[in-house]
Every structure is written in structure tokens, then in C-alpha cells.
Structure 1
Amino acid sequence: MNATRPGQGPEGRSSALAQARIGHQDIRAIRGPLVVVGGVDGVGWDESAEIATPEGLRHGLVLDLDGDQATVQIFEGTEGLTPGGIEVRFGGRPLHIPVGTDWLGRVCNGRGAPLDGGPPITASQVAPVSGWPLNPVEREPPREPILTGVSVIDALTTLVRGQKLPIFSVAGLPHLSLATQIAAQSVSPGTEFRVVFAAMGLTHADIAFVRDRLEARTASGELVLLLNAADDPPIERILTPRLALTIAEHLAFEDGADVLVLLSDMTNYAEAVREVSAARREIPARRGYPGYLYSDLATLYERCGRVRGRDGSVTIVPVLTMPAGDITHPVPDLTGYITEGQIVLSPELAARGVYPPVDTLSSLSRLMRSGAGPGRTRDDHLDVAAQMLAALARARQSAALAELVGASSLGETDRAYLAYRDVMEQDLLNQGHAESRTLEDTLDRAWRALAALPRQELTMVSPAQVAAHLPTSGEAADDG
């Protein structure tokens, strides 16, 4: 990971520094957050830039090139700037940031500037925010669990180190609360565990909520917080997840930590990609998004994983809201192609007062078998999860039948499945916003829900597991 890259050796760095010293004062236009600079040569897309103003330095990225003109988006905006009063210096390379453990415990904005009153982040090493391509041959398959303390996730959609597992939600559902709960209480047993939380396009009220909810873990030096507000420039929103992943990669592959990265909200990120694409005058594709949205999302999601011969891992949990609840919208649709499962939130469960309102039959973790079961969580975990999902599917059929003929007309077995669903929702799925449950407690709650079913219906768990874990009617009543 530390090998010299093309353009990063002594000659490459000298060339970049030489370009950085050239000041361009041919400012041909200032439009909103954009500055059009003339007389440029040898400048590339996404190259970093510094803008010298009478009030101090501002920063930007090259969005578009046309002949000898470069269009630069200014992170801090162009308010107060005049064409004759600024000078633009190009960095000669894409944006780099310092990396290392100095990020831990810090609260910064979407471009890495401190919001916590502390000094700017400095380090002896820097890395490009775009990251380095990872050789697929050097990837190790994800394995071992990350326990979130959220029962429905740990029991039925177990998160695995090195996995990418998105949360699909709808506006108005508590996805941000769930994301902060996962960030606040997740652990990876037996390892050095770190969390990077990147917020994109949030309101100031939501940002205040995130800071307050994650204050304890931030203060403990286990978490990095990057906060991009809805009124910040869209180019910053595009940079925020890349900064988060660059920080996480160094903590994982150089320092050996297992790092969980939460990205919320990826729909806001995609909207920023669309806005920047329009500024570049690119031809729009599906629903106005650029045709490269799939590959753009993949450049983020595929930065997770494990590397052969190195300790540590990067696990990604993107959070996105589906416009109008449409799972075929380009953002959830493309995310589903790239990632390894999904956690889907349900408005119906939320209306019944269940938190987190996870639709368990629409959710899955395709790598759950790599991180759960004997030697990883508990021997009965995979079997009891399969039994619970099968029983819930049958309970939905019983509920639909009850709506047609009435619950009193159902048979004893159907009524047992309805009772099972109620116990599962209220005892297993439903938990407090700040409640962290152990895996033992979660699986014991799962068995208590299964105790509502007739013994002959438990066909996916072994008799030995039933004897060891299934509570008797009296024990189940006492626990309830």
C-alpha cells in the first residue's frame, strides 16, 4: 500500500509543486460557485486548486476543461470575489488529504476542515481521496461478524467484516437514527474497531442530532465524523464519502483496525453527482443522472473489503432514501447491483410503532453465512434465523387470511403464527433507540418468539437445539 505510484515519485512531486507555483489571474467569469480561468495548460479534471483572495485562501476542484479554459468549483463559494482580485494556483494532482490516527475523535465538515474547535488535521502521510485501485487477486473474502447491538440486524441480516450492506429507506422513516445507533454501539469482537461516519446533505438539525448521538464515541477516540450540510456546495458532497473512505483505508490497511464506514444519505450524494454533471454539460441518462452513475457508485462501494497479508478491514453501510419509496429508482437500483444484500425499512412497521422498522422478508445479508454460525456467533444462529423467516412468511399468509375471514375463523395453527408475529415484532424487532443488546440476548428473544408456535412447526432447527434453547410455556410467560 505504500509503494510509489506513477506521478508520486520525486519527479512527479516536483512537477506538481512547479505547477502549484503558477498563479493564473485571467479570470474570465464567476458564475455562482464556479470560476472560469483562462490561459491554463496541462490541467486535468478533478485537479485540486487554491484560490488566493484578499481575505485568504479558498479551495476548489477542476470541473470542466474547454481549450485553454478551466472551470473550477469553489468549496467556500464565490461570495465577495471579483475577477481582478483573485489568483488561481493548480495543484498538479487530484486532491490529497493527510491520513493517520489524528483523525480519530475529530468532527470535521465535508472537506475535512475542523468543526470541533481543534487544529487542522496534519500527518506525515497523504493519500488521494480517490483511493488506489485494489487488485482483485489480493482480496480476501469477508468473514467474522460485526455486532451492531440491533437485534433484527444481528439475528437476521448479520453484518460481516469487509461487506457492503446498504440500508434502503423512505423519507420520514428513522434511518438516520438507525445509522447513528449502529455507529454508536457496533463492535467487532477481538479486534481494534473504529468507525467513520460521513453525513451528506443533512439539515443542520439532523447534523446536531448526529453530533449529539455520537458524542461519546467521538470523545473516546474511536470515531471520525465528517458532516456535509444541505447548504454546502455539491462538490463537497461528492468529496465527503471519498474522504471518509480514504481515512478508513489507512486506518484499516496500514494501522490494522477493523473500520466500519457509514454513508448517509447516498441519495443526496447522487443528486450532487447529477448537479455537477449538469455543470460539466454532460449528456444526461436515466432520470437525469449521468450515464456513469453506476461506475461512480462502484468506485465508492468497492473500496471496502479485506486485503491478503494485512490485518484490518473496511466495511461499508450506505444509507439511502428511495424517492417515493421506489426501489427501482436509479440510486437504490444501482446500489443493489453492487452491494451484498440490503436492509429495507418498512413504513407499515413504523406505523405500528416498531423501531427499527426493518422489513425482514425484504432484507437479506448475502454474506451472513460467512460471518455467523458455529465458531463465529452461536451454533444455532443460522438455523434459528432460517426458522424465524420461514415462520414470518407463514404468519403473513395467516394475517392475509384473517383479513378475509376474520381471526376467529382461523385454525389453531394460523392463530399461533399470528401470535408468533406479534411476539417477534414486540420482543425481538422493537428496541430502544439507544438500547444495545448482546447476541445472546437477541437469540434468546428469537427462541421466545418461536415458543409461540406448535413444536411440530419447528422444522428448520434440530431437536438438540430445541431442547437446549426453546423455553417452556411458563418460562416464556415469565420472560414476557
Structure 2
Amino acid sequence: MAAHDGTADPVPAKGPDPAGAGPGSPLSDPLSVPRVGHSDVRELRGPLLVLGDAAGVGWDEFATVAVSGQPERHGLVLEVDGDETTLQVLEGTEGMSLGGIEVRFSGRPLAVPAGPGWLGRVCNGRGEPLDGGPPVTGGTPTPVGGWPLNPVYREPPQDPVLTGISAIDALTTLVRGQKLPIFSVPGLPHLTLATQIAAQATTSSGRAFRVVFAAMGMTHADIAFIRDRLEERSAAGELVLLLNAADDPVIERILTPRIALTVAESLAYDHGSDVLVIMSDMTSYAEAVREVSAARREIPARRGYPGYLYSDLATLYERCGRVQGREGSVTIVPVLTMPAGDITHPVPDLTGYITEGQVVLDPDVDARGIYPPVDELSSLSRLMRSGAGKGRTREDHLDVAAQILSAMARARSAAELAELVGTAALSETDNAYIEFRNVVEHDLLNQGRDELRTFDETMERAWQALSLLPRRELNMLSAEFLDKYLPGPEGGARS
């Protein structure tokens, strides 16, 4: 996790920002003093620029690239080998030739002015305004790579982040400080679900709740949808939007989530807010990493992705959590599409190792007209017990969730048996489970795309579904909870 060490001031003192970023960019700073320019450009390779005779350059150093007759571009040092330095050019190298290029290094990593000035703003993937407003300024320049955190100062995630979506709140509760990805396939409404979470999510901590939405590789239609759907939260000054379009430079996608997380860390740990970061689509991000790796001529690993993809993703996902002595928190919900629905694809596979569960969207559930099309038996929140139950959500929550998942597994088996022998050959109990599954899907899990449900309403729907089963089958619920919450005469006392 890149945040703070818990003992020292986590934000560097005010200093010069990266050189020559331009007046329309949050990367600029009037105090910036450029270094001597270098013009020994030896190779242009995809998004990469290979520069010679550049001694004293450091890894991850920020640079500006002056191109004769063109606007300045920006770059980051990827590799230093002897007198050769390899930079990734954020705007790409299209239209550039070996002559007429001058590179100036800043002497420090890429930084942005983090702080509350980002709230309510709509920017592109590099942080440049898309809303017609001025550049984001006024914050302390903070490296987009974040700050390393001493593990001693980590605090375990706790308390729920309620999304108003029953499928998540009831069965895969999101916890403040958790990283919980959404696994989907192309064609499913994962973007609709992500924007609904961004529009509705909140906590009961009493602190300010903020949302940072980082979109990567989106079509212009998707970007328009995101802006329209989140307009109300943005107007309220609770949202930061970073939008990378599909026709923007691919290399920009590597920068977008890092800027988003840098802003989120500042809002959380410096300003005491609970911050939810939604990153969609992480598969587009991984494709950008693969493109850079191919341009660097690195030996590919699984499906052409670099062998360091795991650690690269970890540098993003681990920038969440709670820090001792700090009031705020960073919660991350990455959204990723699985090519051909393959959950063993490197991106979802490695994401699953790093994160704490997953919400899985299923085409078969979507085909039954259920929104959100969550496969509840494949979904899991490993930290749910830390954020749910008495004093957090409701005393009966964990037991109800366990009973519903157990019953849904039994209902799935009964449905498969019915396909073989027919429903007439099933027992009364098996038929009750099949009816229970239908009610859970259509009354509990299914809801409108802009419907905000209270947690009590979600639990009421859950108990209504459980009332369809014989009381003897509800063996994961205490008699106290059954008498108190189960609908029906005498607490639903069915035999």
C-alpha cells in the first residue's frame, strides 16, 4: 500500500513541480526549474523513446519532451542502462522523428497537486480538465507512485460501505478499507453497476464520503454515460472523475489509476474522508502494461503479459486501507472484464490473489433478466465479518447471509435434478427450494439500475424469501432470530 508511514508527515514539503508540464496541466508549477536539455535521441519504439548521453538520470523520473513545431509531451523514465535512458512518452511518439527533439529531466518523480481541489472536477487520464474549468492547483505536489506504508501502522478494515444494492450489501458486504473487485465479461452491465455504486455508496462513520472514479479505455458513449450518471454527486463536490477514452494514448492508462489513488490518499489520510476508488476497466490497464512491455522487448510470460504484472497490479490494489492515527480510509473496487469469460485469464487470476474476494457477474443470470446479474455462489467478500453484524449492519445479517447462500446452493442442486427427472418427481422440500431461488433472484437480488435500497429493506426482502422454506430447514438461524424476524404467524413457525 502506498500511503504514509504513520510517524512522519506523509506529504513532502512544498517544492518545485515537474518541469515544463504546461499551463493547462496539474503537473505544472511556476517554481519549476528545468535541467539541461538532451537531444541524443537514438530510437523511437512504440510509446518509448531511447535517449543517449543522459548521465545522472533516475528511474521513474519525470521529463518533458520538446518536439520541434509541436506541443510539449511528457515522459517517465522506465530504464537506465549505462548512458542510455528509456522513457515512456505519455502522449505517445506518433508524429515524432529522431531529429528536433529535446528532453529535459525534472530531477524528481511525476507529481500532482493532491488535495480537495479535485472534488467536483472532470479531467482526462492525465488530470487535465475536461469540464471547462481551470487546471487543478493549490494542493501539495505528491508523487503519483504514492508513499510506502510501514505495515505496523496498518489497521484492519472494518465497518461497512453500504452501496444501496442488495446483492452486495446482503451477501458480499463491502468493508471500509477493503479491495473488492467486480469480475465481468464483455456485454454485461458492469459499467452500470460501477456507476450505481459510485452514485449511491456511503458509510455510517460520520466522516465525509468521497468517490474517485478512474475510467480507462472507455468509448465516448460510455464516458457520456458516466458523466450523466454521476452528475449529481459531482455537483455536490463529492466526486473526482478521471476519464481516459479509448482513442486517447494507450500509455495514459498507466497513469490514470495512479493519479486517482494519489488524490484518494490525500483526501483520506490528510483530510479525514472515507474515499471509495472505482477503477474500470483494469483489463484495459493491463493491456497498456503489456504494450509497453512489448515495446521494451521484454520476454513475455502468460498470454504475452510481462512477468511483473502481479507486482504492478499490487502497487495499485495495495494502496487502500486504514492507517493508524488517521481518520480516513481508502476502499478500492476495481472492475475488470474477463476475455471470453475466462476467470483463469492472467488479469482476473492475479487480481484474485491480491484482493479480498470478488463480485462475479454471470451471463446466465443476466439472460434471466436479473440486474445486477451477480452469481452469488461464486462471489465472496473475505472481510465481510469485519464489517457486518451487530453494531455495524444488523445483528442477524451474517446468519441470514449464510443461510441464503446455503439455501441457494441446495436450490441449484434441486434445479439440476429437476432438469433430469422433472419437477413432479421432486420432493416438496426440493420444490420449496426452487421457489425460494426464484424469489431471491427476482425480489432480493434484482433491482432497478438507479434504485437505492436501505439496508433494512434489503434484510426484509431476505427474510421474506426465507419464509418460503420450512422452518426446520433454517438451521443456520437461531430460534431468537426466527421468532423476531421471520414473517408469518408466530414468527413463521412452519413445520
TM-score, with length taken from structure 2 = 0.91
Structure 1 residue 122 and structure 2 residue 137: aligned? yes
Counterpart of 1:365 (choices 363, 368, 381) is: 381
Query: How far apart are residue 209 of structure 1 and its match?
Result: 1.3
Moved more, 140-149 or 5-14: 5-14
Counterpart secondary structure, 1:21: coil
Query: How far apart are residue 24 of structure 1 and its match?
Result: 1.6
Q: Which residue of 2 aligns with 1:42?
A: 56
Residue by residue over 1:15-39, the C-alpha shift from the partner in whole angstroms, topping out at 9 and shown as x without a partner, is xx99832112333344554433332
Distance 2:382 2:467 in 1: 27
Q: Which residue of 2 aligns with 1:206?
A: 222
Counterpart of 1:110 (choices 125, 128, 138) is: 125
Counterpart secondary structure, 2:203: coil
Is the 1:196–1:244 Cα contact (8 Å) retained in structure 2? Answer: yes
Distance 1:154 1:6 in 2: 35
| 2:119 alignment partner AA | L
Is the 2:17–2:111 Cα contact (8 Å) retained in structure 1? Answer: no
Distance 1:248 1:425 in 2: 35
Q: Which residue of 2 aligns with 1:69?
A: 84
Equivalent positions of 1:323-338 (< 5 A) are: 323-338=339-354
Q: Which residue of 2 aligns with 1:245?
A: 261
Counterpart of 1:381 (choices 397, 403, 425) is: 397
Is the 1:416–1:453 Cα contact (8 Å) retained in structure 2? Answer: yes
Counterpart secondary structure, 1:73: strand
Is the 1:451–1:473 Cα contact (8 Å) retained in structure 2? Answer: no
Structure 1 residue 22 and structure 2 residue 42: aligned? no
Residue by residue over 1:118-146, the C-alpha shift from the partner in whole angstroms, topping out at 9 and shown as x without a partner, is 11111241111111111111000000000
Structure 1 residue runs of 4+, over 6 Å off? 4-14, 473-476
Distance 2:11 2:365 in 1: 53
Counterpart of 1:261 (choices 274, 277, 302) is: 277
Distance 1:339 1:209 in 2: 28
Query: How far apart are residue 231 of structure 1 and its match?
Result: 2.1
| 1:222 alignment partner AA | E
Distance 1:99 1:467 in 2: 52
Q: Identity, % of aligned pairs?
A: 70
Distance 2:178 2:11 in 1: 30
Residue by residue over 1:298-319, the C-alpha shift from the partner in whole angstroms, topping out at 9 and shown as x without a partner, is 1111110000111000001111
Query: How far apart are residue 464 of structure 1 and its match?
Result: 2.1
Counterpart secondary structure, 1:98: strand
Q: Which residue of 2 aligns with 1:137?
A: 152
Is the 2:160–2:174 Cα contact (8 Å) retained in structure 1? Answer: yes
Q: Which residue of 1 aligns with 2:418?
A: 402
Residues 321 and 370 (structure 1 numbering): CA distance in 2 closer, same or farther, change over 3 Å?
same
Is there any run of 5+ residues in structure 1 with no aligned partner, and where? none
Counterpart of 1:177 (choices 170, 189, 192) is: 192
Counterpart secondary structure, 1:199: strand
Query: How far apart are residue 473 of structure 1 and its match?
Result: 7.8
Counterpart secondary structure, 2:251: helix
Is the 2:12–2:140 Cα contact (8 Å) retained in structure 1? Answer: no
Equivalent positions of 1:303-314 (< 5 A) are: 303-314=319-330
Distance 1:346 1:206 in 2: 21
Residues 215 and 322 (structure 1 numbering): CA distance in 2 closer, same or farther, change over 3 Å?
same
Distance 1:5 1:281 in 2: 37
Residues 7 and 166 (structure 1 numbering): CA distance in 2 closer, same or farther, change over 3 Å?
closer
| 1:276 alignment partner AA | V
Residue by residue over 1:261-287, the C-alpha shift from the partner in whole angstroms, topping out at 9 and shown as x without a partner, is 011111111111111111222221122
Counterpart secondary structure, 2:265: helix
Distance 1:465 1:267 in 2: 43
Structure 1 residue 421 and structure 2 residue 434: aligned? no
Q: Which residue of 2 aligns with 1:57?
A: 72
Equivalent positions of 1:221-300 (< 5 A) are: 221-300=237-316
Is the 1:63–1:280 Cα contact (8 Å) retained in structure 2? Answer: no
Moved more, 79-88 or 118-127: 79-88
Q: Which residue of 1 aligns with 2:171?
A: 156
Counterpart secondary structure, 2:456: helix
| 1:57 alignment partner AA | E
Is the 2:444–2:458 Cα contact (8 Å) retained in structure 1? Answer: yes
Counterpart secondary structure, 1:342: strand
Query: How far apart are residue 367 of structure 1 and its match?
Result: 0.6
Structure 1 residue 191 and structure 2 residue 207: aligned? yes
Query: How far apart are residue 427 of structure 1 and its match?
Result: 0.3
Query: How far apart are residue 206 of structure 1 and its match?
Result: 1.3
Query: How far apart are residue 234 of structure 1 and its match?
Result: 2.5
Query: How far apart are residue 474 of structure 1 and its match?
Result: 13
Q: CA RMSD in A?
A: 2.5
Q: Which residue of 1 aligns with 2:407?
A: 391
Counterpart secondary structure, 1:24: coil
Q: Which residue of 1 aligns with 2:28?
A: none
| 2:165 alignment partner AA | V
TM-score, with length taken from structure 1 = 0.93
Residues 24 and 273 (structure 1 numbering): CA distance in 2 closer, same or farther, change over 3 Å?
same
Counterpart secondary structure, 1:123: coil
Is the 1:98–1:124 Cα contact (8 Å) retained in structure 2? Answer: yes
Query: How far apart are residue 475 of structure 1 and its match?
Result: 12
Distance 1:11 1:172 in 2: 46
Query: How far apart are residue 466 of structure 1 and its match?
Result: 1.6
Is the 2:18–2:63 Cα contact (8 Å) retained in structure 1? Answer: no
Query: How far apart are residue 441 of structure 1 and its match?
Result: 0.4
Moved more, 26-35 or 147-156: 26-35
Q: Larger helix proportion, structure 1 or 2?
A: 1
Structure 1 residue 93 and structure 2 residue 108: aligned? yes
Residues 12 and 107 (structure 1 numbering): CA distance in 2 closer, same or farther, change over 3 Å?
closer
Distance 2:391 2:449 in 1: 30
Is the 2:14–2:141 Cα contact (8 Å) retained in structure 1? Answer: no
Query: How far apart are residue 330 of structure 1 and its match?
Result: 1.1
Q: Which residue of 2 aligns with 1:462?
A: 478
Is the 1:197–1:261 Cα contact (8 Å) retained in structure 2? Answer: yes
Residues 88 and 4 (structure 1 numbering): CA distance in 2 closer, same or farther, change over 3 Å?
farther
Moved more, 109-118 or 224-233: 224-233
Distance 1:11 1:320 in 2: 37
Is the 1:59–1:75 Cα contact (8 Å) retained in structure 2? Answer: yes
